Amino acid sequence: MTVVGSLRRAGAPHALRLLRGDRFAFAAAVVLTVVVLGSVVGTPLLRTAAVTVDLSRRNLPPFEGEHGALFVLGADALGRSVLARIVVGGTTTLSIAVTAMLVAVVVGGLLGLVMGTSRGWVDLLGMRVTDMMLSFPTLLLAVVLIYLFQPSFLILVGVLAVTRIPAYARVARAEALDVSARDFVLGARALGAGRPRILFRHVTPVVAPTLLTLGAVDLAYVILLESSLSFLGQGVQPPGMSWGLLVAEGRNYLLTAWWLSLFPGLAITVTTISLNLLSGWLRMILDPRQRWRVENSRTTRRLRRAQDGGAR
Amino acid sequence: MTPPPLLEVRGLEVEFVGAGTVTAAVRGLDYTLDGGETLAVLGESGSGKTVAALAVAGILESPPARVVAGEVLLGGTDLLAMAPARRRAEVQGERVGMVFQDALAALNPAYPVGMQIAEGYRLRRGVSRAQARRRAIELMDRVRIPAAASRVDDYPHQFSGGMRQRIVIAMACALDPEILIADEPTTALDVTVQAEIIDLLHEIQADSGMGMILISHDLGVVARIADRVAVMYAGRVVETGPIEAVYGHPAHPYTEALLAAVPRADVRLERLRALPGAPPSLTSPIPGCAFADRCSHVRPSCRAAVPPLAGVGGAGTAQASACFFAEEVLARV
């Protein structure tokens, strides 16, 4: 794929330098790295601590210090470490959201590309179906679907993906319609390219950055959606944990133990904001016509000068 | 006996099927093209020149377009009768290349130009990416892009309009086709660049000996390099012949009017001489000469039957005109 290809050509160090050039995107990338690394590394370490009950630490306030680093964010109503529960819950939330987003991008994108390039009854049918799905409030649709099936990881991913697929399908279709009417598609046909080749090698690379950007923005939305579902008791079920569920569990103690809801809520906020910032940067980097904006930013230029100077 | 021409189009008819209407865009088109020859297809907007070229290149969007009748013979094989997959694999790009009007639209913004130029070459010849890249640089040199080796990884938006058109030409020539179809290759460019592009096309054609179909509405651009001209009106060729003959002594009133409408530097005119009226509607059959309504010399017999394309000016000239009174028109000048 070009998207990957163009970054590969630009070289990993170059991409990193471009990231340094945008302060907000860089900060967002750091935050997300911490979140992802924390989940991957921290979950196996903290899985036991997250479920260890100790009633002597009931609703322990945060930043006390005397109970060790594990309890820096306090403890919940059963004396379990809030920090450990946020880390483990984050893994659940992120894996559900990322999987759902990827499924939605791939399935929705493919549907849209096929609809946009085939026209006729395929297009018509697809559009009406997406219309129908989009006319349901997302959360209601998700709640109804989950009510029909038992909540589990796969069902949650499936439900979240299904509610997002129409959006990707419509965006991909609109872009594919525009792109496939351009002369370079005609040119590819003049050179003898077949339908699959045109679809995947000529139309998809132009549409992909849009979908990926939408995906990155949407990831934040899917995280919120998962959290909302869990908050409503329709998502992840105890004893499992997710950010939304942690917020929901803390609701009963809002006046006495604010930290139970605040910290998981902060985790959601910080992660979604970072995703939004990074997706904007990603869109610029993936579009060859926009990349210069980042390449020519003042910070990038300063970094380049510093590096050249250091090399000399 | 003369050898068969490289390309022969016989009785080509193309329709567009819309909601309740059928538009006959090309209604019985004939022309031939030899190797090493440049045929200019002239005509105003809607005369069917582009549609005919797309049919020859095999890239008509169908539906809505539909080839109703005719043959496109390339080296004796009828392209229209070929299976689409075989035609794609053996003819398109390989034997027929195409240059488009708008070079920016004809290049994919997501790929570097070198990749686009050599994509067909890499796949068809089964060569490695490195070899394809070398071929792209070679082709960029050939179309006179300065510092080709350092620009091969640039993206289309980083080139000027003239340079982009050169890249499109390089792309069309990547597989050394026998025929190059250039659809208004200079219309989107400014005048000085136009001349450069036309000269480049001429040079490449002379080097490789391929036949070129140059579609244009610009009589001046065509005059520079064409050997023969085919003037199209309402989906048919109304006059064809060597360029000197057609420009010097037009044998069809339409050609005559077209040439008269070109402003000349040496004649001072109060106002430009325009051709009154508009081309006929193509949604219904035209019983007689399509130009009859705009012709200043129209006679009743013109509306009765379609005049065939017939030789004029006696034996030995290759000029032909689709006018019942061609000899009279010829004698007028």
Interface confidence (ipTM) of the complex = 0.73
Residue A111 lies in a domain: yes
The confidence score (pLDDT) of residue A270 equals 92
Q: What is the pLDDT of residues B45-92, one digit of tens each?
A: 888 888 888 888 888 877 788 888 888 888 888 888 888 888 888 888
Reading the block at residue A306, the tokens are: 């510093």
What DSSP character marks residue B4? P
The confidence score (pLDDT) of residue A3 equals 46
CATH number of the CATH domain containing A23: 1.10.3720.10
* H helices present in B209-325, as ranges: 219-225, 243-248, 253-261
Q: Which of B61, B79, B108, B176 to mutate to test the interface with A (most CBs of A within 10 A)?
A: B108
Mean pLDDT score, B85-105: 86
Judge: A191–B93 Cβ closer than 8 Å, yes or no: yes
Residue A244 lies in a domain: yes
Calpha distance B84→B78 (Å, rounded): 12
Can you give the residue range of the structural domain that contains A254? 2-47+82-296
Assign A85 to helix, strand or coil: helix
Calpha distance A78→A80 (Å, rounded): 6
Calpha distance A185→A171 (Å, rounded): 19
Residue A232 lies in a domain: yes
Contact residues, chain B, for A6 at CB < 8 Å: 110
Q: State yes or no: pLDDT of B32 exceeds 90.
A: no
Query: How many Å is the maximal CA-CA distance in chain B?
Result: 67
Judge: A288–B153 Cβ closer than 8 Å, yes or no: no
Calpha distance B237→B230 (Å, rounded): 6
Calpha distance A56→B288 (Å, rounded): 104
With b for 16 or more beta-carbon neighbours within 10 A and e for fewer, the B147-161 pattern comes to ebeebbebbbeebee
Residue A185 lies in a domain: yes
Cβ pair B145, B151 in contact under 8 A: yes
Residue A140 lies in a domain: yes
Judge: B89–A189 Cβ closer than 8 Å, yes or no: no
Residue A245 lies in a domain: yes
In sequence order, the β-bridge partners of residue B321 are B239, B310
Closest CA to A260 of A40, A30, A34, A57: A57
In sequence order, the β-bridge partners of residue B52 are none
Residue A108 lies in a domain: yes
Residue A189 touches partner B, C-beta closer than 8 Å: yes
Cβ pair B301, B328 in contact under 8 A: no
Q: State yes or no: pLDDT of B193 exceeds 60.
A: yes
Query: Is the peptide bond prior to B64 cis by the omega test (within 30 degrees of 0)?
Result: yes
* Single pTM value for the model: 0.74
Burial of B60 (0-12, 13-18, 19+ CB in 10 A): buried
In sequence order, the β-bridge partners of residue B131 are none
Angle at B166 between CA B240 and CA A7, to 5 degrees: 145
Query: Where on the phi/psi map is residue B237: left (φ > 0), alpha (ψ -120 to 50), or beta?
Result: beta
The confidence score (pLDDT) of residue A281 equals 83
Contact residues, chain A, for B96 at CB < 8 Å: 190
Assign B69 to helix, strand or coil: strand
The whole-angstrom distance between residue A2's C-alpha and the CA centroid of its chain comes to 21
Question: How many separate domains does chain A show?
Answer: 1
Residue A212 lies in a domain: yes
> Which helix H or strand E contains A7, and what residues bound it?
helix A2-10
What one-letter code names the amino acid at A194? G
Give φ, ψ of A6 to 5 degrees.
-70, -30
Residues 261-290, chain A: which have Cβ within 8 Å of B? Answer: 288-289
Assign B9 to helix, strand or coil: strand
Give φ, ψ of B113 to 5 degrees.
-65, -35
Q: What is the pLDDT of residues B305-317, one digit of tens each?
A: 888 888 887 666 7
Mean pLDDT score, B178-202: 88
The confidence score (pLDDT) of residue A2 equals 45
The confidence score (pLDDT) of residue B41 equals 92
The confidence score (pLDDT) of residue A4 equals 44
Residue A206 touches partner B, C-beta closer than 8 Å: yes
Q: What is the pLDDT of residues B203-245, one digit of tens each?
A: 998 888 899 999 988 888 888 889 999 999 988 899 999 998 8
Q: What is the pLDDT of residues B108-152, one digit of tens each?
A: 888 899 999 988 888 888 888 999 999 999 999 999 999 888 899
Residue B327, number of CB atoms within 10 A of its CB? 14
Residue for token pair 């009748």: B69
Query: Is the peptide bond prior to A62 cis by the omega test (within 30 degrees of 0)?
Result: no
Taking chain A (312 residues) in runs of 10, the rounded mean pLDDT of each run is 46 68 86 90 82 79 76 80 88 90 92 84 87 83 81 84 90 89 85 84 86 84 85 81 86 85 90 87 76 69 65 46
- Supply the DSSP string of B281-313, one letter for each residue: PSSS---S-TTGGG-TT--GGGGTSPPP-EE-S
Contact residues, chain B, for A187 at CB < 8 Å: 98, 100, 106, 168, 171
Query: How many Å is the maximal CA-CA distance in chain A?
Result: 77
Reading the block at residue B213, the tokens are: 């179909």
Calpha distance A157→A178 (Å, rounded): 31
Taking the CA of residue A208 and the nearest CA in chain B, the distance in Å comes to: 10
Query: Is the peptide bond prior to B63 cis by the omega test (within 30 degrees of 0)?
Result: yes
The confidence score (pLDDT) of residue A13 equals 62
A290: closest chain B residue by CA: B157
Residue for token pair 């409030």: A137
Judge: B105–A182 Cβ closer than 8 Å, yes or no: yes
HSE-CB at A11 with a 13 A cutoff on CA atoms is: 3
Cβ pair B250, B329 in contact under 8 A: yes
Residues 107-136, chain A: which have Cβ within 8 Å of B? Answer: none
What one-letter code names the amino acid at B231? V
